[in-house]
A and B are shown apart, each in its own frame.
Chain A
Amino acid sequence: MSDASSQNMGAFVRTEMLPEQAPPATQTGAIKWVRENLFSSVPNSVLTVLAIVSIYYILISSLPWLTNGVWNSASIRECREILEGATGGCFAVLTERWNQLLFGFKYPADQYWRPTVAFVLLFVAVAPVMFYKYLPRQLLVFTGLYPFLAYYLIWGGPVLSPIFGLLGFVAGYLVWSRFVASSFAVGFFGAIIAAMVTWTIGGYITGAMGTENTALSAVPSRDMGGFMLNLILGTVCVSLSLPLGIALALGRQSDMPIIKWVCVVFIEFVRGVPLITLLFVANVVLAYFLPPGTNFDLILRVIIMITMFSAAYIAEVIRGALAALPRGQYEAADSLGLDYPQAMRLIILPQALKISIPGIVNVAVGLFKDTTLVSVISMFDLVGMIRGPILASTEWNGVYWELFGAAAILFFVVCYGISQYSQWLERELATDHR
């Protein structure tokens, strides 16, 4: 019927909907995005143009340098001959001296596999801690073994010393778990005594066995260098400073005035002075305070001072977390009849450590960057290697950008990786629903 009437009357009545028209070209796709995000207002447009111009100049000046780079030559003169006046980086220094940048210039070249294996195993060791939700807990056993394994791999020498080091901890742990149920103090001090006894006995036995016929030849500490030294200092000092930092934070929160003030003075003193002055102490002053005749490694002295330094900062992070816990948690622990060590171990610290993870990671990243300062007291870490043996050599005198760029990239990769992990962990640990 509708057909007939429409024909008869000549009028037009639409029976079906028109298809939707596409939005105007300026409101869709790339054009809309550009208008909204780059040219939404006059100041924004100016900023965009400025940004594009500066990116253009940076690319124009750095791209030829990157793409024209020479990767194979024996010295900077050869590099320049190959380039014939054109712009280009002399990246050959990286290929030539890569091992020196990583391991320092004294570590025996045929033993490079040892720190490399230790470095790879480091990931295996920290994985169960970093991704504890997704990996079986049995892997933590390897994490516990790792410090001794890594020590043996990197320093070498008699295999008995790391084994006795481990045995000391095992003995301490056994004594602790035996006595902790009755009294924390007995367990704690008993563990320390048991470990000390084991180490003393082990020291005699290792001394009697002598240093001959070792599977891995001993490498003295002063031969460590390059990026390896930064990594060693960073991991060792952060892991050592965690327990020390927890103890300092608890001490600062304590009701006992003497213990509290000792901790406050220590923390404020260490936080008030630059790391360089502490390294000066390690380098020139600490020897005066040790018993006459003892000869501490420089690397060990530096580890002591950096550990103290980072412990003070970690203590402040943990103190913030302790203060942030609701008062009710402390009172709930008290009302359950838990004593101080139990309340701390079972109720307070698990929560406090969880909320202090981002802060601790920040301290760890900062500390890892600060390990470059050891180059000031003439240790040959990555920066020390570059400024010392490599730039001073006749072959590579003048190759600044390539070397410092490589150092910056190495540090960037590690630090950025750690901070990304920390952000991931923060999301993972967030128990509030937002």
Chain B
Amino acid sequence: MTTLTDPPTESFRLSMLLNDTRYRSYTFQFMALVALIAFFAYLGSNLVQNLRAAGLNISYEFLGEPAGYDINQRLVEYDSQSSHWRASVVGILNTLLVAFLACVSATVLGVAAGVLRLSNNWLVSKLMAIYVEAFRNVPVLIWIIIIFTVMTAVLPGPRAFRGDNAEASMVLDMFAFTNRGVYVPAPGFESGFFSGAGNWLVILASLIASFFVSRWNVKRADHIQEATGQRPNTLWAGLAIWFVPLIALCWIMGLTWEYPELKGFNFAGGWTIRGSLIALWFALAIYTGAFIAENVRAGIQAISKGQTEAAASLGLRPGRIMNLVILPQALRVIIPPLISQYLNITKNSSLAIAVGYMDITGTLGGITLNQTGRAIEAVLLLMLFYLVISLSISAVMNVYNNAVKLKER
């Protein structure tokens, strides 16, 4: 009778590194690692040689030096004596500003177009199909330039607003559309608690408080509904929670509007929105809106018709069917591509450099790079910024995906 014994213990032979699947992956990884290190060492030695030949070095000191150029669209204080670092911060804020504006408007536009494309109105659905196809199939750069051309070449100059019978006039005496930008009234506070931006923080704090109180309001209605079966009307309480503190604060702090006025050859007062910002904002919104419309349409179509019919057979009204049954399921399909569209907007906002909007690509990657000649450092910082934004948005997306995905066993 034979007994099962241990397999014969083989001693390690060199050929096993290639022929034995247990060790082969180590061989390959080692080779890959060596090749990678050799490759980077090669690049590094080239870099050192080239830098020495050109008499350059890698240094970030230029960030502290005065920038020496002006930025006409900015959210924070900046003048030409500020440092390159300050210019980059202005650029970062400008990138975030245009990305935020474009994300909001692209979502509104895309959802509307996506829903309307599914409408049973033949004309409207065909119009939306034309919109989607026309904008998806033409480069966004061309749209940006076309809208920029409208803003700068078609709109009248400030000079056209002068005189008794001027060629152009302000809309409602509040907005002026000129080829230098759009002038809008600026809100301000006469008797604020702070001077400057502090008053806006007060408004923001009140809005955040309103948000939590209105959530509590809805929760309370849910509790009452569960206990009694009757849902109290939350509409008026909700509106009051949002608007009463806001209006009261504005009244206490003395909200005033500063209107743009024609002074000399240009408008003064109010806020100026440059044509480049509007071109970038609108083009990104319309272009990405077409993509979002397709995502929304796909998401709604992915929900089977049985869901609608089941909800209807339970006696739900059409509005509640949409809100309680279809949308929560469709959102699970829509949100991931929607967030990757937001990522695309942020990355495409770097096209600002084509129309001279001073975002981070225009300041750090444009003028700063050209003035200081610090190509490697500037491009590295630029990539790092976009990488941080992209990775943090995808991290948020992963958290959300894990939260909403179907819990399966």
A-side residues, CB < 8 A to B, are 36-38, 40, 44, 47-48, 51-52, 55, 255-259, 262, 268-269, 271-277, 280-281, 284-285, 287-292, 365, 369-370, 372-373, 375-376, 383, 387, 398, 400, 404, 407-408, 411-412, 415-416, 419
| B141 → A minimal CB distance (Å) | 5
Out of A51, A411, A419, name the residue touching B138 (CB < 8 Å).
Answer: A411
Nearest Cβ in chain B — how far from A377, in angstroms? 10
B153: contacting residue among A40, A276, A285, A398, CB under 8 A: A398
**Within B98-143, which residues are at the interface with A (CB < 8 Å)?**
116, 119-124, 127, 133-134, 136-142
Minimum CB distance partner of A408 in chain B: B138
With A48-B121, A280-B365, A372-B139 known as contacts, the answer to whether A274 contacts B347 (CB < 8 A) is: yes
Chain B interface helix/strand/loop/mixed = helix
What would be 22 A-B contacts, judged by CB atoms less than 8 Å apart? A37-B120, A37-B121, A47-B123, A48-B123, A258-B33, A272-B387, A273-B347, A276-B365, A288-B46, A288-B375, A289-B43, A290-B46, A292-B46, A369-B138, A375-B141, A376-B351, A383-B141, A383-B142, A400-B149, A404-B145, A411-B137, A411-B142
- Whether the Cβ atoms of A273 and B124 lie closer than 8 Å is no
Q: Apart from A272-B390, A275-B347, A376-B354, what 9 extra A-B contacts exist at CB < 8 Å? A: A256-B25, A272-B387, A273-B383, A276-B351, A276-B353, A287-B50, A288-B46, A376-B353, A408-B142
Given contacts A272-B391, A273-B387, A411-B138, contact A288 B124 (CB under 8 A): no
User: Bound complex: CA of A365 vs CA of B33, how far in Å?
Assistant: 35
A47-B387 contact, Cβ under 8 Å, with A277-B382, A281-B379, A376-B354:
no
Interface string of B39-76 (1 = CB under 8 A from A): 00001001101110100000000000000000000000
Note all chain B residues with C-beta closer than 8 A to A284. 369, 375, 379
CA distance A56 to B383 in the complex (A): 47
Q: Using Cβ atoms and an 8 Å threshold, which residues of chain B touch A259?
A: 28-29, 32
Q: With an 8 A cutoff between CB atoms, is B348 at the interface?
A: yes
- The reply to whether B46 and A404 form a contact with Cβ atoms under 8 Å apart is no
Which single member of B51, B119, B153, B350 contacts A277 (CB below 8 Å)? B350
Q: Are B134 and A412 in contact (CB under 8 A)?
A: yes
Residues of A contacting B145 in the complex (Cβ-Cβ under 8 angstroms): 383, 387, 404
Please report the C-alpha to C-alpha distance between residue A11 and residue B304 in the assembled complex, in whole angstroms: 59
Asked if B50 and A274 make an inter-chain contact with CB atoms under 8 angstroms apart, the answer reads no
Chain B residue, CB-CB nearest to A280: B379
CB-based closest 9 A-B pairs: A272-B390, A37-B122, A415-B137, A369-B139, A274-B347, A284-B375, A274-B350, A272-B387, A258-B29
Cβ of A44 and Cβ of B121 under 8 Å apart? yes
B137–A373 touching, CB < 8 Å: no
Docked complex Cα distance between A48 and B124 (Å): 7
Contacts of A411 in B (CB 8 A): 137-139, 142
Residues from chain B with a CB closer than 8 A to the CB of A370 are 139
Closest to B340 in A: A271
B88: interface (CB < 8 Å): no
Contact check, B383 vs A262: say whether CB atoms are below 8 A apart: no
Assess whether B94 is interfacial by the CB under 8 Å rule.
Answer: no
A51, B130: Cα distance in complex, Å: 13
| Chain B residues whose C-beta falls within 8 Å of the C-beta of A383 in the assembled complex | 139, 141-142, 145
**A372 CA to B133 CA in the complex, in Å?**
19
Contacts of B149 in A (CB 8 A): 400, 404
- On chain B, the residues within 8 Å of A274 by CB distance are 347-348, 350, 361, 386
Please state if A51 and B124 are interface contacts (CB–CB under 8 Å).
yes
Which residues from B are CB-within-8-Å of A271?
Answer: 390
Residue of B nearest to A278 (CB): B383
Looking across the interface, which residue of chain A has its beta carbon closest to that of B52?
A: A292
B309 to chain A, nearest CB (A): 20
Give the size range of B's interface with the partner.
35 or more
A276 touches B46 (CB 8 A): no
**A318 → chain B, closest Cβ, in Å?**
17
Q: What is the bound-complex CA distance between A276 and B364, given in angstroms?
A: 13
Name the B residues within 8 Å of A37 (CB-CB).
120-123
Question: Is A292's CB under 8 angstroms from B133's CB?
Answer: no
Q: How far is the CB of B322 from chain A (nearest CB, A)?
A: 15
Cβ B120 vs Cβ A289 within 8 A:
no
Q: What CA separation (Å) do A287 and B348 show in the bound complex? A: 25
Closest to A55 in B: B127
Q: Is B146 positioned at the interface, with any CB of A under 8 Å from its CB?
A: yes
Instruction: List, in ascending order, chain A residues with CB within 8 A of B139's CB.
Output: 369-370, 372, 383, 411
Q: Which residues of A contact B376 (CB under 8 A)?
A: 285, 288
Return the contact of A262 from the options B32, B123, B350 (Cβ within 8 A): B32
Tell me the bound Cα distance from A76 to B191 in angstroms: 57
Q: Which residues of B contact A376 (CB under 8 A)?
A: 351, 353-354
Q: What string of 1s and 0s marks CB contacts (under 8 Å) between B380-397 and chain A?
A: 001100110011000000
When the two chains form their complex, are residues A277 and B379 in contact, meaning their CB atoms are under 8 A apart? yes
- CB neighbours of B361 from chain A (8 A): 274, 276-277
Closest residue to B149 on the A side, CB-wise?
A400
Nearest chain B residue, comparing its CB with the CB of A405: B146
By a CB distance below 8 angstroms, the chain B residues around A258 are 29, 32-33
Interchain CA distance A289-B44 in the complex, whole Å: 7
- Which of the residues A55, A257, A273, A408 comes within 8 Å of B390, measured between beta carbons? A273
Residues of B within 8 A of A416 (CB): 133, 137
B119, B145, B153, B361: residue with the most chain A Cβ atoms closer than 10 Å: B145
| In contact, B123 and A404 (Cβ under 8 angstroms) | no
Question: Given the complex, which residues of B lie within 8 Å of A52, measured CB to CB?
Answer: 123
| CA distance in complex: A383, B140 (Å) | 11
In contact, B138 and A412 (Cβ under 8 angstroms): yes
B224 touches A (CB below 8 Å): no
Most A Cβ at <10 Å: residue of B134, B141, B149 = B141
The residues of B that contact A269 with a CB separation of less than 8 Å are 383, 387
Minimum Cβ distance to chain B for residue A156 (Å):
29
A288–B47 CB distance below 8 A:
yes
A372 to B149, CA, bound (A): 17
